[in-house]
Amino acid sequence: MTSFISISWTQLVIALGLVSVSGAASLYYHLKLERDLIVGVIRTFAQLLAMGYLLNILFGLNNAFLVLAVYILMTFASVHIVHGRVKEKQVAYFAPTTLAVMISYSLITIVVTKVIIGADPWWSPQYFIPIGGMIAGNSMNALSLSLERFFSELRTKRNQVEMYLCHGADYKEATEAIFRTSLRAGMIPAINSMMSVGLVSLPGMMTGQILAGADPQEAVRYQIVVMLMIVGSTALASILVLLLVRKRCFTSAMTLILTRQNPSS
């Protein structure tokens, strides 16, 4: 295989021209997205360049504590993003989400790096940080969808839930259908991506490896692992967060604490 082609700063600046299509569309159709585009480009450059320099340092030091510290920082950042997306004020879901994230992300990341890939050591930054980042990025979307659907369904079907409670059902029985619907909402995007991968699109990790000169067959095997781990992590994270949050939606007397209208909306 040939070595990858390096991208210079000049070429990177030229690539900025691609964003002009979005900018032009926003201006022409009065979408008022110009500010978001500028902020997004700045954050893309700043965050990715910072992570690139950080990874260079981590690769050089090869220190387990630093690698895990960066991983924990990434994890808490994903929790913060989920908290920002799910506008719920009546249920304290931040702590359960953090716990669900820590358990699911860590378990899946360690299993993939240590058992499936066989990295030595298992916390090797070359594998642990990128894999952990992919798990966090995809799982937080599933968490957001699951929580948003769960809170929304509880409000929409409040009468039905209260009827079950009045007939002696506990909070688990009263929300069983809503739990399944919310879990399905979080899992479907990852499952759908498996349906189209390779046929409609070449995923980022596989494309990156091929562009870097890796054997396509090797890149394919890595991408299969990535797709499977994403499906597993989204399912595990969604299950845990819904199990932990569900009870918090009810008082000790088994009454639903969510009003019909979310105060944050």
The pLDDT value recorded for residue 201 is: 64
**Domain definitions of the chain by residue range:** 1-61, 63-249
The per-residue pLDDT for range 131-144, each reduced to its tens digit, is 999 999 889 999 99
Cα separation of 35 and 43, whole Å?
12
Q: Is 84 left (phi over 0), alpha (psi -120 to 50) or beta?
A: alpha
Query: Which of the residues in the chain have pLDDT under 50?
Result: none
pLDDT of the residue at 261? 64
The predicted structure's pLDDT at residue 260: 63
Task: State pLDDT tens for residues 82-124.
Answer: 999 998 888 989 999 999 999 999 999 999 999 999 999 999 9
User: In angstroms, rounded to a whole number, what is the distance separating the alpha carbons of residues 211 and 216?
Assistant: 10
Cα–Cα distance between 47 and 40 in angstroms, integer? 10
C-alpha span between 211 and 35 (Å, rounded): 32
pLDDT of residue 252: 83
Question: Can you give the pLDDT at residue 248?
Answer: 92
Identify the pLDDT of residue 71: 93
